[in-house]
Amino acid sequence: NSKVIQTPRYLVKGQGQKAKMRCIPEKGHPVVFWYQQNKNNEFKFLINFQNQEVLQQIDMTEKRFSAECPSNSPCSLEIQSSEAGDSALYLCASSLGGRVNTLYFGAGTRLSVL
């Protein structure tokens, strides 16, 4: 039921390498979220955008990730130097925001850092 497109589906990187994943939000949705889901199924909020502006982000994202949502291009999330602990499912979601903020998730990018 979601039209959020995430690529790639799987990503394998060595420690210290950059890891970049992309997300095309549902058409007309100005709010985009990135979450990390670890192997224990725990969700960690990473960052969200409204249009091209960052609304909120956690400390880890600010220090180690590069994220953007340019107009007319996919949003992206890039880990600058991958660590083993970054192995997880990265989920992008989009929303209309405002009073009806239903999240619609993409299928995720599963990152393995060897």
Partner 1 sequence: GDKVKQSPSALSLQEGTNSALRCNFSIAATTVQWFLQNPRGSLINLFYLVPGTKENGRLKSAFDSKESYSTLHIRDAQLEDSGTYFCAAAGGNYKYVFGAGTRLKVIA
Instruction: Give the β-pairing of 10-13 and 75-79.
Output: unpaired
8 A C-beta contact, residue 50 and residue 30? yes
Q: Which of 15, 17, 52, 55 binds partner 1 (CB under 8 A)?
A: 55
What minimum distance in Å lies between the beta carbon of 24 and partner 1?
A: 16
For residue 78, state whether it binds partner 1 (rule: CB under 8 A).
Answer: no
Task: Give φ, ψ of 59 to 5 degrees.
Answer: -60, -45
Indicate if the alpha-carbon torsion angle 48, 52, 55, 57 is positive or negative: positive
Choices 16-24, 38-46, 61-69, 71-79 (CB under 8 A): range interacting with partner 1 = 38-46
Which residue type, as a one-letter code, is found at position 108?
G
For residue 72, state whether it binds partner 1 (rule: CB under 8 A).
Answer: no
What minimum distance in Å lies between the beta carbon of 107 and partner 1?
A: 5
- Paired with 95 in beta bridges are 31
> Within its chain, how far is the Cα of 87 from the centroid?
13
Nearer to partner 1, 45 or 81 (CB): 45
The residue ranges that bind partner 1 (CB under 8 A) are 1-2, 31, 33, 35, 37, 40-43, 45, 48, 55-56, 89, 91, 95, 97, 100-105, 107-108, 110
